[in-house]
Copies of this chain bind each other. A is one copy, B any other.
């Protein structure tokens, strides 16, 4: 199972902490964490996943795999810019949005369009997004659903 963690490439310390917790939980469930491969929420989630031995994939907007954050195992360069947001969602079974701006909104839109389960923590309040308050609640939701 691939779980996407989406959110901004910059974020405050509190959001990073939530993202790191989510990353840990994703890895503990045995899922692969997929994301946009950059900094901010993406990096914090990957750091969490790697801290407990998880696996991470980063779908990068540019042509240079060195743009991936240091916790990405499998960087995939695309040269697609923000169109790559669609690929992140396409490759995920479940999407967890944390905070984020317009880029994250485009990913939420694609996730809902593809009718994939989409959880949200402190993020866009869009009908269809299952709002949860923290990593634990997200994981509980996912486990109940399996």
A interface with B by C-beta (< 8 Å): 57, 59, 63, 65, 74, 76-83, 86-87, 90-91, 101-103, 105-106, 108-110, 112-113, 126, 128
> A106-B106, A109-B105 known; A78 and B87 CB under 8 Å?
yes
A91 to B113, CA, bound (A): 23
A83 to B126, CA, bound (A): 20
Number of copies: 4
- Within the complex, the shortest CB–CB distance from A90 to chain B, in Å, comes to 5
Please give, as numbers and ranges, the residues of chain B lying within 8 Å of A80 by CB-CB distance: 79-80, 83
Please give, as numbers and ranges, the residues of chain B lying within 8 Å of A101 by CB-CB distance: 113
- Within the complex, the shortest CB–CB distance from A27 to chain B, in Å, comes to 16
Whether A106 contacts B102 by the Cβ 8 Å rule is no
> A83-B83, A113-B82 known; A77 and B106 CB under 8 Å?
no
Some 10 contacts from A to B, beta carbons below 8 A apart, are A74-B74, A76-B87, A76-B91, A77-B87, A77-B90, A79-B86, A86-B86, A102-B110, A105-B112, A105-B126
Whether A113 contacts B102 by the Cβ 8 Å rule is yes
- Within the complex, the shortest CB–CB distance from A57 to chain B, in Å, comes to 7
